[in-house]
Structure 1
Amino acid sequence: MIVNSAMRRLDAMFPSYFTKGRKHDHFKDFGWPDHLTFDQLYRMYRRNGLAFAGVDKTILKTWQDSPDIWETEKPAESDVESDIRQRFADLRIWQMFSEADRRSMVGRYAGVILRFADSKQFDQPVDTVPGGILGLAGIIPAWEGQLTVAEWDGNQNSETYGEPLFYQFNESAVGDKTQPRQFRVHPDRVLIWSDDGTVNCQSALEPGYNDLLDAEKVKGAGGEGFWKTSRGAPLIEAREGVDAKTLAGQMGAGTPSEFIDAINEQIDNFQSGFDKGLMLGGMTAKPMQITLPSPEHFFAAPVQAFAASLHIPVKILLGSQTGERASTEDAQEWAQTCNARRVTRNRPIIQEFINRLERFGILPEKDWFIDWADLTEASSTEKMSRAKDMAEINAKHPSEYVFTPDEIREVADYDPLTDDQREMDDLPEDEDVLPQPAAE
């Protein structure tokens, strides 16, 4: 009873150390924040190399080429398609979209503000925009911290109940504080870039944020430890019986703080090479010995956990490609991951963008096709290697074709043979098929 009473009292006085049947508070114990804000995520992206690499490598792979918009699944480069391609190139639409995708990985979402040549303010709804594709005047990518919901629709009888009625754009809220643009924006002029198209999503850095902090601790502690070891700051030890006041007086210091400053000045001058000796008046200087454990294993654990949170292979995250087989498998897995981002995350937003352009009369209403290359498709070298293997298999079975010539050409990414080419191949070997040079 006495022990239980004492434990209850200690539990109440020191809840972090004397617990009964409760788990540890890992966030408090390990120095992790309970809640993450956009400012914390943004600073981590700007100042941490792992966070920067994780976000930017994902974006660079996802947007290594740009999509095309076609009227049909088999493009023919019609006049409308040519106008769209040229206008998008002039306004750098795909580059702006990739920047919005990058910002959406750092924050919970990012915004794309659409600029139309409709002679209306940003807070006005969009009706019909004249001028066709020229009615699209540009887009503005925005960070989460720059674009916030200014007003929600609270009318339960409204079709847009629970959705934003207006957004507030404040360009100076992130990065350059001198940027002046501030205005309210109607939802017709905003695309939300996130997993589900809403502002209630999760930052791509949030699952691995604690791992980034742990990696910073290991790297920072190692750097500070090596610096202190190489700097050689000595430990100052006073002999037994030495009076501190006497030492202070001898060094011309009236207060303890002045005494410490005087000692530090002596040490700094000694380390800088100004003095040949170190005079401390009755005290002994001993070298500080710091033994650091090998940091590789302690650093590798949070790095691997952070890479797992982004579904990115560690070798690709760090840029170290060792082992041909392992590197090839990592590259294939990485291509599949980024290809999935294209299909499940970016393509629906691009489709919504096309729907807006149709609704506002900028594009004619059609079943538009978004053509975006498959990142998992084999390279030209791999295709030629497969075609070579197929040809060698045919050579080993001369009595019959295992693969037809057209099948081999298709694997190598060549068009099938035309009828004229087939007739040329069917000619006898001794028949001349090339024009003879004219007689001199």
Structure 2
Amino acid sequence: MDELSIRFSMGGGPPSAAVCAAWDTGQPTEQADPPALLSPQREWTAVAPGTTPMVFHGDAIISNGRIALAARRRAQAVEAYVLSHEGMVLRLRLQLIGSGGEAAARLGRLELVENTKGAACLELTYKNGQGAGLAAKFRIKKAEVAVQIDPGQGADRLRVECAGRFAVLPDFFADDILIDARNIPVPRIELPSENFLLHLAGQGETVATCVFENRKQDVVVTLAGTGDERKIGASEIPFEAKRVWVAILEGPGQWHTRDIRTEDAGKVLPLGWKMPFPAQWRVDLTRKEDLTDSWDMLLQQKTGGYLKPSLLGGGPEQLGGDRSRWNTVLGRYPYPCWSDQEGRGYIQPLKKKVLSFQGPAVVYPLNRVKETPLDAFTVVDIMRNTLGVGPCEHILDLEGQKSEYRGRATCSVRDTLGAIYEKKEQKQKHAEVEKILNDGLV
């Protein structure tokens, strides 16, 4: 572990036990790189807990042992670092944008407004190219992996710079929207505002989870590059005078991808990936028409059978060793994604005329199971820790993930399915049809 990592982890202790801390680097640094933040001629000055100095002579650093924020005077954005197996690594940048589209250009005012062992917060005011101010508070809490951003004067949007091929709009009861940069030729697109956006970055080690309270304005995603190097560069999230959170899920195997070919239908394909911890892992499979089919990875038990975790709190579904399932759309079929007792992942693409897969399959941690370690985070963990229990009840229709799901009335099933079949949309909406039928049996 390098010197910077030791500083950020408060003496090298486990991140979960570390407390929040703040430093003044003494002199502004030139580059956004961990070694560059350390000057061999100068030492950082630790800010005593409970104090908030009026003046910072250099850059401001706050950390909770898991993540660290650097507010550099010569940078246009706040830099977020994570403590990884490689030491401290820069994972993303958070830049303020005004209502006219002018982005922050330089840091003007820097103030540490909270400095306790439980939380640290920087209030920053940037200037754009025209000299107008853009202000926000950036706050972290002990043992958590999220940055809370509260907009101030002039801040209209938050730009999250986190380059990667994929982004995901997760849906907890239907199919996700998987965005593959290689399939999008335009430089920017608008995405529906659904409270959540995931950036899948690095080589599978980083999931940047954006959570926001606004739902009126769409999120904008920018893209660049060509061919296999085409990537999603950033997302722009409207504040609408409400806070935004950006969490970093970090560690080997946090997400994984594998391309599926048409000729793979019916074949058992090892993913070449092992889940880093037990959880409810979401598998997004790409259909031929570039839509997404979302499945939850089965967990193999010692008996040879499988458990399918549930978000609804009614307990996991049990499947036999052949993973056999049936519904009215697909008939009898083997469940297409599972893990063995060692946590190794597999996919068996369906061999059905009504549903076939071609393109990337993407895996990421959606929710906890009983065996999930306390220091591991999933997407639902981030949602609960940021939005709070009340909004989660509204979004997930559950309380503490244990509420009773009461299904759907028979007349509602009849009317809804009738409308779908009348428009001949049963193939396109097969997942919705399956859910409606299952709801009617509850």
* Structure of greater relative contact order (alpha carbons < 8 Å, 6+ residues apart): 1
- Kindly name which structure, 1 or 2, has the bigger radius of gyration based on alpha carbons: 1
Q: Shared topology, TM-score over 0.5?
A: no
Higher fraction of helix: 1
| TM-score (structure 1 length as normaliser) | 0.19
| TM-score (structure 2 length as normaliser) | 0.19
